[in-house]
Structure 1
């Protein structure tokens, strides 16, 4: 597994699951509140139609004097004078002994009460008022359907997820044409209860409903589906959902997530393609995103482009000015054979480091650039500082630099020190033999001269 795969593989699932899932917001509209402010004695049932087999109900008449009182209360409510509206309704209920209200009239009274309580953010009282609406016999079927939907929403607002699901199931039983929003509401409830199978079933019904109608499913719906697929480790499906999000709601976060998903599928070329698409659209705006982009390019053996990404990030102060990032840039430039540019990058990295390891590695780059004196100075500085991870390698390079500057005794000392580590013994011995052979050759030439 390459560097980027190691860095990303462990974190991809937690990264996706940590993202906030914005499902259907539980905001009840005035239409959803029933007829309270949309005309007394009228009701809409969330675009749903009653089941055809249910008989039409014979609803009691709304008497004129009752209608006038309800209209008075509604007018006050529309003017946001909720206290007056409530007082009118209180008077209507207080006088019931002398002037009994029929079930439909009571339903309208409780419906308007519910609106008042909801407007005061007293959701428990609003819920009770709506329950009282449902309890009334022979109210219009559409009114009951609409009210049951609103009851379910109020349960969800109060985070009573199981009660909300139960209320929604009763609503589903009464309608032939539930709309997509109803399934989203069910998905949200099951998601909160961590019943991800049922949540996924319901959110997919909502998405399919919109697809069949040629409508674009809402971003929040795709996000909930994507989360659920990732939670169930259904990588292919999560990837397809991200592709839909990118098609309809192109945002940086989705390109980055898609890149991670391709990583999970070992599709490295597509992983790089997704990340690069975000990059060229100037969507990357974090240090880690630029470093990931550079690492992907390095793994794809495009080091010069990786260096360009890091240079841009450093210039725009997106990539942090620290030792690790300058080291990454130096490595990219060195792989791209841009040694002259790699040197100042590694110098910067070494100067910001707390130990000597990068000075030792800087010495290696100096050697590649035939700057032997600087190589000697840098490696010795690193060794004296300490913390050099492969001191044996550093001493091999040091011996080469001493040899190139004809400091043969110091070169021998460096090679002997390197050879004490079994990992470098073979190469140290080879260099000692080569150096001794070269010295012997030089002596022979001098004798002949």
Structure 2
């Protein structure tokens, strides 16, 4: 089923946590859309930094500081290469996707958005790509518009011509839905937005570790993602922004490192990206993210995407065998997850039951409350996959869910 050029079973040995037992059963980890597991290479990179390079960056003249600075800035360049950015200066390190989007909303939006301007979103957005724009609209008097979602989980693209008017200053949208698995045509969305003079922001939290991304080919102005969903550490994220746009945005946080000079009355600030990285950054997190990128690139993102999407399609097909089960999202191409509801049990009860058999899934609204209301449910059960998962694990999931039907009936 999966690509024959990669030994997926052998890769599982790189992840120590997959040898864990859960309630006396082998762990089946189907929650990678929430956070991925970490390979030994990333764990070792973190340990190596703390054992041999730990120091603060940029201002120190001693050996350890120089080594830490070199590793940190090499990580920035590694991220730039990974997403096809023109320069490492277009890469801002943040705490994660949420902070990256908030940075744009507050710093860029605070300068450029005015009363009567429009921000276009989609109904499938994660709260992290909705709430920051709501807050901006409340402060500025801007309006929010929403591109609807069809019953099959795809966007109503025919509505774009009426929604994308000259008043739209930004179109922010997800690459892959974290609840539906929908893969949106992001290059097309960027092109249509630019045709009316709007900037674009892509939420790549669910795509950055699963498929190839080239920001210049996509034509986006901003792109945000997190390290922890792509084998990297928690607490490290990325905001990509085109250089000329980043340099037009005022600082977001103030403090050390982001300044050129400080007087009692006013300060002068560095150019991007450092003007957006006040204080001591997550040095180890950036180094760990670079190690995760190296690990992913050794496998190859095209192979990862093929493997993950096949797992998701297989899971979606097998879930239809369960009585009273409704699977959400596209039937054909989908990201590495399957969201569903079962008549037999609430998602919280279902995931609690599954956990007793070693199966880790997530139940709830997945920070997608408007989308859940669109489909008439309070939440779903979500099984999400990565390249360390197998079809045999999906078969075991189906066995456990059959047992759940019997138990709750």
TM-score, length of structure 2 as denominator length: 0.20
Structure 1 or 2: more strand by fraction: 2
Q: Which has the higher contact order (CA 8 A, sep 6+)?
A: 2
Query: Bigger radius of gyration, 1 or 2?
Result: 1
TM-score, length of structure 1 as denominator length: 0.19
